[in-house]
Amino acid sequence: MTGFSFERLFALLAKEWIQVRRDAMTLRILILIPIMQVFLFGYAINSDPKHLPTGLLSTDHSKYERTIVASLKNSGYFDIVPLQSEAEAEAGLAGGTLLFVIDIPPGFDRAVDRGEAPSILVDADATDPSAIGNATAALASLGADLQRDLPAIVRSSPQLQAFQFVVHARYNPEQLTVLNIVPGLICIILTFSTLFATTLSITKERERGTMENLLAMPIRPLEVMIAKITPYLAIGYAQAALVLIASALFFHMPIRGSIPLLLLALGLFMSGNLALGVTLSTISTNQMQATQLAQFTLMPSFLLSGFIFPFRGMPVWAQWAGEVFPITHAIRIVRGMLLKGNGWVEIVPDLWPIALFTGITVTVAVWFYKETLD
């Protein structure tokens, strides 16, 4: 053996570069991941959400009300939606279509003119405190817009407030961050464990040389998928149970919804992730490539799901992209069921996208597995 040789080194470098160029998919993923990170963090992430859906309950439609509504709109935080009843307001808050409900009491103008400083009740969905924090703080400055319209007797008493907002933080009265993080963390843990487990399943069989034995068996692709998914589905349920028990014991997480319904929704969510993992495994040629595809899928789903950053703070295109990922809907379901006590009616709008995603991924996985058999 001779000493160090630049000639041998250059030959090895040429060989490695040829090998890298042959794995075109891995090379593309390595280039696309940092580009995706730059665009997501630069354009999609915003910790100061604006244009939050806000319901308005009012019967008088007075001049002071019009001033308040105009001030709310001009702040940029509130998109006002007129409501017809308190039942509609409750349904909007429970289903997540409204983040605020503003209730202006009857006789509001008369009470202001008399200097009675009436209260306007603001119900806020506090399941995600970071989404409503800045908007709630903006309410304190809106009283100044009404002072210009007050009668002289009220203006002459500067110590009197024209009116006051009374904010009622619903579902999370103390606005504890842990009550927002833990339900989302359940979905994050299940995504990691289920997606990566099955992402390596087919490629592992292929690299170990056992794929030929599997292909020689008289079994259907769907049977293979069910067999590979079922054990990890049971493991996922065990993980979810452990997190729920720990969060209830140590963080006093309320569990207000139906646990059987929650487990059903989580089972559908895990099935979609497991099927996606099988799909990525069937189209990958090796375990490294399968892992990179999983990472490429996980990053945008986490950032656009509303787990870390407020979903309403993202631009419209990012919200549309986030709606594609099942984890976005799963987080809403878990938060709604644990904190709000949501039932079947409230979770259906988020349950059917998960079911659709699961059906599509199962179909794609079976299709690609058929191609492998050919």
How many residues are present in the chain?
A: 374
Give the bridge partners for 170, in sequence order: 125
pLDDT band of residue 251 (cuts 50, 70, 90) is confident
Is residue 3 over pLDDT 80?
no
- The four Cα atoms 237, 240, 244, 250 give a dihedral, to 10 degrees, of 130
Report domain extents, the chain: 52-170, 177-373
Q: Is the CATH code 3.40.1710.10 the one for domain 52-170?
A: yes
Interval 252-277 mean pLDDT: 91
Give the model's confidence band at 291: pLDDT under 50 very low, under 70 low, under 90 confident, else very high.
Answer: confident
Phi, psi of 365 (to 5 degrees): -60, -45
Pairs from 103-108 (Cβ < 8 Å, separation ≥ 24): 103/57, 103/58, 104/56, 104/57, 104/58, 104/60, 104/65, 104/68, 106/59, 106/60, 107/60, 108/58, 108/60, 108/62, 108/64, 108/65, 108/163
Nearest 10 degrees: Cα torsion 269, 274, 280, 285: 170
- Quote the crossing angle between the two packed helices 259-283 and 326-335, to the nearest 10°: 160
Q: What is the pLDDT of residues 128-166, one digit of tens each?
A: 888 898 899 888 777 665 665 555 445 545 556 778 889
What pLDDT sits at residue 30?
66
Is pTM beyond 0.85? Reply is no
pLDDT value of residue 357: 93
Tell me what percent of the residues of the chain surpass a pLDDT of 90: 25
Q: Give tens-digit pLDDT for 61-113.
A: 777 888 888 888 888 899 999 998 999 999 999 998 999 999 998 888 888 87
